[in-house]
Chains A and B, each alone.
Chain A
Amino acid sequence: MAIDQISIFVENSPGRLAEVTQTLGAAGIDLRAMSIADTMDFGILRLIVNEPARALEVLKAAQCVFSVTPVLAVSVADKPGNLARALSALAAEGVSVEYAYAFIARQRGNAYVIFRVEDNERAQAILEKNGIQVVNSDELYAL
């Protein structure tokens, strides 16, 4: 039930991030979640969008460098300690999280957390065993 995350190379120079997001916006692509990892001279923009297939075409046409990575999305009630619970469950089984980012869906009162792990299926099984809901792509894209 992994979700396609699009990672885009963004050169660390003024206006580059705006350029990439504008390209997607102009094509009518909605961003569901995003995070940026940055270093001294470049950044990686990670996105969950409503129409991944079309987004990829748009990025390709714009000659961006990108990759698609399957990630896990979980939904937890937007309450203190809930994220920690999910992370502890994974840690207890020795699953390390490469990176994670979260966003909140207001109308549902839920927080969504995106996890990047090596083995999605195993991580999903662990989370579900611990009563944490793993969200499928339809739910996420429809938010």
Chain B
Amino acid sequence: MKYYQREIECAPRDTLRALQSERLARTVRHVYQNVAYYRDLMDKKGVGPDDIRSVDDLPKLPFLTKDDLRDAYPYGLLAVPLHDCVRIQSTSGTTGRRVVAFYTQDDIDLWEECCARAIAAAGGTKDDVVHVCYGYGLFTGGPGLNGGSHKVGALTLPMSSGNTDRQVQFMCDLGSTILCCTPSYAAYLAETIVGQGRRDEIKLKAGIFGAEAWSEEMRRDIEKKLGIRAYDIYGLTEISGPGVSFECEEQTGMHINEDHFLAEIIDPDTGETLPDGAKGELVFSCISKKAFPLLRYRTRDICVLSRETCSCGRTLIKMSKPMGRSDDMLIIRGVNVFPSQIETVLLGAGFPSNYQIIVDRVNYTDTFEVQVEMTPEMFSDKVKQIATREEDLLASLRAMLGISPKVTLVAPRTIARSEGKAVRVIDRRKI
């Protein structure tokens, strides 16, 4: 069985469209009544719940951005009483950039069903052993795939991230068949397994890899090393988590679970809705969720939507892999990083804000370096004193970002400037 909910995944377009229109109208009404923040935005735009009758009316609604999430933090976009919520998930990153999402039990169920669809599309059934080494906790990766695996009825191994030797041992001992993790960790695991000469001991047949960008070349490499089929999965905490869209056996884009999440492509500069097939910013509207149903949320991911018929039989629209961002956010080792966060830390620690972020990918793993120019205030004739300041800075950066960069102190005026403006980010990754 390659579908989890065939009736939805392969529904005739008209059926799906009718369902979407009905759910959208209902959700807009629910949000208008319960979320003062969005009601104000709608009122300002002169649009009321009665104006939204079908998916065609979607462009009438105001957008939401990460700035709105910050302004409304933590409860401002909550659409149900807190006592109806059963779960919180969050992104890494601190003040101002952290996303906190709320879920009712129904919200959790539909999210897990989306993940179940992804697992089923990767060939997962009750007979599989699903090895989840996404992080568990506030991060949606672990809980999402874990829940999806339960829905499928597979035997779930909630490994969480890290401890590679143990991962490999469990994989061999318990016969894991489907691996869920970030693509870079999959590549690392593959190298470890091959390096330990245990390729014959594993029973993996598929992998579901997401939360960071990866290339087709990387996919083929992982597939070859592990002898599996590798599937992409996409999602974001704001909308639910992993499983907003997922790949099928055709591996030519990710099917969006559009019975729950309406997708649009807009021109990031004008906000104008673009036709299917055009490249632009991906925007999602949640039409089934209760607790945190963001409408027209701008993901800042640049991609293309396609309604072309898929050989897998699904009628769900497909999105390309994100091709870039319409803001300056970087995704490093699966973690969202904004240059402004680094600036905040530097200024707070008494460093000049003259910095440069250098991101690269070595052996499929992101490297992340923050170069900071040395100043007289920072300098000392004692190595220990400078090293201590460097360590303090590293600790602050780690606390702010959720991942550790390598901090390098460089001579004044060595950070490249173009037309007087410093180049803040050098991303050498070729994805």
A interface residues (Cβ-Cβ under 8 A, vs B): 5, 7, 9-11, 16, 37, 39, 41-42, 44, 46, 63-67, 69, 98-99, 116
Contact = CB atoms under 8 A, between A and B. Distances in A.
B381 A65 contact: no
B380 A67 contact: yes
20 contacts: A7-B379, A7-B380, A9-B379, A10-B411, A11-B411, A39-B386, A44-B381, A44-B382, A46-B381, A63-B412, A64-B411, A65-B374, A65-B375, A66-B376, A67-B376, A67-B380, A69-B381, A98-B382, A99-B382, A116-B382
B383 A66 contact: no
10 closest cross-chain pairs (CB), A and B: A7-B381, A11-B411, A69-B381, A65-B374, A37-B383, A41-B408, A9-B374, A65-B379, A42-B409, A11-B410
Nearest to B387: A39
A127 B379 CA distance: 29
Nearest to A98: B382
Contacts of A10: 411
A10 B374 CA distance: 10
Nearest to A63: B412
Contacts of A37: 383
A41 B381 contact: no
Given A39-B383, A44-B383, A63-B413, 20 more contacts: A5-B381, A7-B379, A9-B374, A9-B379, A9-B409, A10-B411, A11-B410, A39-B386, A41-B409, A44-B382, A46-B381, A64-B411, A65-B379, A65-B411, A65-B412, A66-B376, A67-B376, A98-B382, A99-B382, A116-B382
Nearest to B411: A11
Contacts of A69: 381
B372 to A, nearest CB: 11
A42 to B, nearest CB: 5
Interface of B: 374-376, 378-383, 386-387, 408-414
Nearest to A38: B383
A20 B378 CA distance: 19
The majority secondary structure among interface residues of chain A is: strand
Nearest to B369: A41
Contacts of A7: 379-381
A42 B410 CA distance: 7
A100 to B, nearest CB: 13
A37 B383 CA distance: 7
Nearest to B409: A42
A10 B414 CA distance: 12
Nearest to B376: A65
Contacts of B383: 37, 39, 44
B410 A116 contact: no
B384 to A, nearest CB: 8
Given A11-B411, A65-B412, A42 B374 contact: yes
B7 to A, nearest CB: 59
Contacts of A39: 383, 386-387
B347 to A, nearest CB: 19
B319 to A, nearest CB: 41
A46 B382 CA distance: 10
A57 B383 CA distance: 24
Contacts of A44: 381-383, 386
